[in-house]
Chains A and B, each alone.
Chain A
Amino acid sequence: MTWDTVASILIGGALTGLVYSLMALGLSVIFGVIRVVNFAHGEMMTLAMFAGVFLFTGGGLDPILSLPIVAGTLFILGYALQRRLVEPFIARPEHEQFILLLAVAILLVNGLLLAFGPDARSVTVDYAFDSFELGPIFIDKVKAYAAGVGVLVAAGLLMFFRYTRTGKAIRACSDNLMGAQVVGLNIRRLYALTFGLGVACVGAAGCLLSLLVDVTPMLGPELTLLAFVIVIIGGLGSMMGALLGGIVVGLSEALAGLLIVPSMKSMFSFGLLILILAFRPQGLFGKRT
């Protein structure tokens, strides 16, 4: 294997990693603000991937174009989920929240299984096999586009939190809940917005990932774990950490595919998670508390 190939594979891994980043960003936002761990994260991602696939096969929409529709729909779903299901659980013990979202995850996986069957489905856009050539290095067009759009969405989200009134209000909730309540912020609405935004991230990421990976209903739990691996590597609750963590995981998957059997690549991520939890529980990029 030549160095050009290695470089191409690693760049491809990092680009895929950026799509993972967007998914993990959603998890991080929800946890960072509401302190609820969305255990149904990967299952929601699969839902978005299916939406991407069907809007493509049924409506001929490129997943990059259907992204706003899917993200918007998932935003509404997330908002409703927080208002109707999660909200009463915020003051309940941690394990009950976990079990609630586990139930949601089970419902999603099996609902998808019932609706679409266990077969893998994919999106094949007409540029699926094209690539950019940078000298001797080949970069898949789909990966480059997906990563580019992913970064744009993530940047949009970060800008929203930094510059808009609502975004600042949400950050206030996460920094100091009691203070936010005292100054009269509508916590319930802000929490629902946050959950909606987190799930919308997953919607966008799912659309993009449908360009890169075949989707089956059983992919859900794997993606949930992957999202967790990323946020734990990056430091739970940190947005930049989620972005960097995604790249680390994308790279490590690509590297694992190069070095060992490709089917063992997710073992790499889990191994990484175990090491991180053991030696740097605050994450690679998090600060020690």
Chain B
Amino acid sequence: MRGVGAVLRGAPRAATGLAVLGAALLVAPLLVDDYLLSVILITLYFAFVGQAWNLMMGYAGQLSLGHALYVGLGGYAAAAFFVHFGLTPWAGMVIGILVAAAFAAGIGLLAFRFGIGGVYFALLTIAVAEFTRILFEHFEWVGATGGFFLPVENREINDLLMLRGSPAMFYYVILAMTVGLFLANVALIRSRMGYYWMAIREDQDAAQALGINTFRYKMMAVVLSASLTALGGVFLAFYNNNLFPIDAFGIHRSIEIILAPIIGGLGTLFGPILGAFILTPLGEVLTWALDQLGVQMAGVKHLFYGLVLLVIIRSLPGGVWPWFARRLGIEGPEARP
């Protein structure tokens, strides 16, 4: 069994780096101010949803361009049950996941039963996300276009049960989620299902000839990825305390989710995390620098993201991680795009 542990033992520099990073992330709330903490927090959020998306695209090879759908569904479900019925988000989360999983299963059923692949599948995911956005813009129970707001009572007392509290609490929640998902992924992609996903990604006909029920495993990938993404959505809704259909389901949101894993490296364990840690802070630095210059321009950050995406896909289509891993002295599958 070649786990991450074994990979890292073969690369002491990487192991040291990871240990330092881990320690720094653990004590970060004590060291940095609220703004910087919020930047790291959002970075971790993108690392989380990026990992969730990567399971489906990077490992199972199914391109979803509508992943904001699941962020929105998870967030809206948990927030609505919290606001209307006082339900704890830990239970609301289950509802959110169920709703997202149902949508994902619907998309999967439509697409995979009829053999819709590639571009068509991607378009179907966008279409369903947009369809849902417009639906929510007319969904009065959750505020329609006016937005849906969670009451902000205190930021001092941490109430983990109701997920109300200080930025530091949210920070530790998302840190735990991101690390937890990473560890789960390590186990997942070295499991039978992980290998089956990669087989499907590489060649569906060959996969099926080896006894893999490709329909079932693609469905599992879509539903699992959607459920995890919905979990991220619950976190985001409770952290932001507001939800707007355009910001929850909009296509620009879906694109934000997929940037980090593509830039970091599709189908790698570290790629989505590395991508998030490159992209989000750079975007923030850019906005901050322009702010300092007295320039406030909408679109600069995303223009920059677009440029990075263009450069990466042209010259490093496997992403930054495989290249970085080789420099760290990591060999083998984790260093392969």
Task: Give the size category of B's interface with A.
Answer: 35 or more
Interface check B151, CB cutoff 8 A: no
| CB nearest neighbor in A for B62 | A95
Bits for A198-225, please: 1 = Cβ < 8 Å to B, else 0: 0000000000000000000100010001
Q: Is B124 an interface residue (CB 8 A)?
A: yes
Q: List, in ascending order, chain A residues with CB within 8 A of B306's CB.
A: 103-107, 110
Q: A178: CB under 8 A from chain B?
A: no
Query: Chain B interface mostly helix, strand, loop or mixed?
Result: helix
> Given A117-B298, A225-B127, A274-B131, does the pair A106, B114 have CB atoms closer than 8 Å?
no
Structural contact, B126 and A98, CB atoms closer than 8 A: no
Residues of chain A in range 69-115 having any CB-CB distance to chain B below 8 Å: 85, 88, 92, 94-96, 98-100, 102-107, 109-111, 113-114
Given known contacts A96-B317, A225-B130, A277-B124, is B116 in contact with A103 (CB within 8 Å)? Answer: no
- Across the interface, do A114 and B299 meet the contact criterion of CB distance under 8 Å? yes
B299 touches A111 (CB 8 A): yes
Among candidates B127, B138, B255, B314, residue contacting A100 with C-beta atoms closer than 8 Å:
B314
Q: Is A263 an interface residue (CB 8 A)?
A: yes
Residue from the list A37, A103, A263, A264 in contact with B119, Cβ < 8 A: A37
Give CA–CA (A275, B134) in the complex, Å: 17
Q: Which of A9-59 contact B (CB under 8 A)?
A: 37
- Contact between chains at A104 and B310 (CB < 8 Å): yes
Residue B195 at the chain A interface, CB threshold 8 Å: no
Given the known inter-chain contacts A95-B63, A98-B63, A118-B298, please indicate yes or no for A106 contacting B138, CB distance below 8 A. Answer: no
Partner of A221, one of B116, B128, B251: B251
Q: A261 vs B317: C-alpha distance in the bound complex, in angstroms?
A: 44
Contact indicator A106/B303 (Cβ below 8 Å): yes
Closest to B110 in A: A278
Across chains A and B, the number of contacting residue pairs, with CB separation under 8 Å, is 111
**Are B138 and A261 within 8 A (Cβ)?**
yes
Query: Are B310 and A103 in contact (CB-based, < 8 A)?
Result: yes
C-beta contact mask, B243-277 vs A, less than 8 Å → 1, else 0?
A: 00000000110010000001000000000000000
Q: Which residues of B contact A94 (CB under 8 A)?
A: 118-119
Question: Could you say which residues of chain A place their CB within 8 Å of the CB of B110?
Answer: 274, 277-278
A267 touches B135 (CB 8 A): yes
Question: Which residues of chain B come closer than 8 Å to A113, judged between CB atoms?
Answer: 298-299
Residue among A85, A221, A266 making CB contact with B134, cutoff 8 Å: A266
Instruction: Compute how far the CA of A114 lies from the CA of B302 in the bound complex, rounded to whole angstroms.
Output: 10
B100 within 8 A of A: no
Q: Which residues of A contact B300 (CB under 8 A)?
A: 110, 114
Do A232 and B120 touch across chains, with their CB atoms under 8 A apart? yes
Task: Assess A106 versus B309: contact at CB under 8 Å? Given A118-B298, A225-B130, A277-B116.
Answer: yes
B residues within 8 A CB of A277? 110-111, 114, 116, 120, 123-124, 127
Q: Are A109 and B302 in contact (CB under 8 A)?
A: yes
Contact indicator B134/A267 (Cβ below 8 Å): yes
Tell me if B57 is interfacial: C-beta within 8 Å of chain A.
Answer: yes
List the interface of chain A (C-beta within 8 A of B).
37, 85, 88, 92, 94-96, 98-100, 102-107, 109-111, 113-114, 117-118, 217, 221, 225, 228-229, 232, 261, 263-264, 266-267, 270-271, 273-274, 277-278, 281
Query: Can you report 17 residue pairs joining A to B where beta carbons are below 8 Å apart?
Result: A85-B314, A94-B118, A96-B317, A99-B262, A100-B314, A114-B297, A114-B300, A114-B303, A217-B299, A225-B127, A270-B131, A273-B123, A274-B131, A277-B110, A277-B111, A277-B116, A281-B116
Residues of B within 8 A of A (CB): 57, 63, 65, 110-111, 114-116, 118-120, 122-124, 126-128, 130-131, 134-135, 137-138, 251-252, 255, 262, 297-300, 302-303, 305-307, 309-310, 313-314, 317
Further 10 A-B residue pairs, CB within 8 A, beyond A103-B306, A110-B299, A274-B127? A99-B313, A100-B313, A103-B307, A103-B309, A106-B255, A221-B251, A221-B252, A263-B134, A266-B134, A267-B134
